[in-house]
Amino acid sequence: MGSIGKRLADNLKSKEFRNYLLSTHFWGPVANWGIPIAAIADINKDPKYISGKMTVALCLYSAMFMRFALKVQPRNMLLFACHFTNEGAQLIQLSRFLKHEFSTNKEK
């Protein structure tokens, strides 16, 4: 167990890891995590506040960036994870929006 910890510590101290922490390959996805976190936080809020157009746009945006994250070299799995999470959260929001807008028991 000690050798695993030592290897992890050595990797964290390496020049490659420090360069990664200072790159847009790291900070871009970290900054993007605000979008899925906000969508997840809003899941229990009233669906009347959901913008259908914006939710569809965010679904398309995340789908395109998931593909980009896999195609860019080296692959950016942190970016992929962020947009995969956002895609799921936005699809939940979209289903809530559609249910709210088109439910048969909608009050007039």
Token pair recorded at residue 75: 């692959």
Mean pLDDT of 30-37: 94
Residue type, 88: G
pLDDT in tens, 37-73: 999 999 999 999 999 999 999 999 999 999 999 999 9
Residue pair 100/47 in contact (Cβ under 8 Å)? The answer is: yes
- Residues of the chain with pLDDT > 70: what percent? 94
pLDDT classification of 104: cutoffs 50, 70, 90: low
Give mean pLDDT, residues 64-87: 96
Cβ burial, residue 39 (10 Å; 0-12/13-18/19+): buried
E strands, the chain, are none
Q: What is the mean pLDDT of the chain?
A: 90
- Is the pLDDT score of 108 beyond 60? no
The answer for residues whose C-beta is within 8 angstroms of residue 49's C-beta and 6 or more apart is 42
Nearest to 100 by CA among 41, 47, 62, 56: 47
The residue among 67 and 105 whose pLDDT is bigger is 67
pLDDT at 107: 58
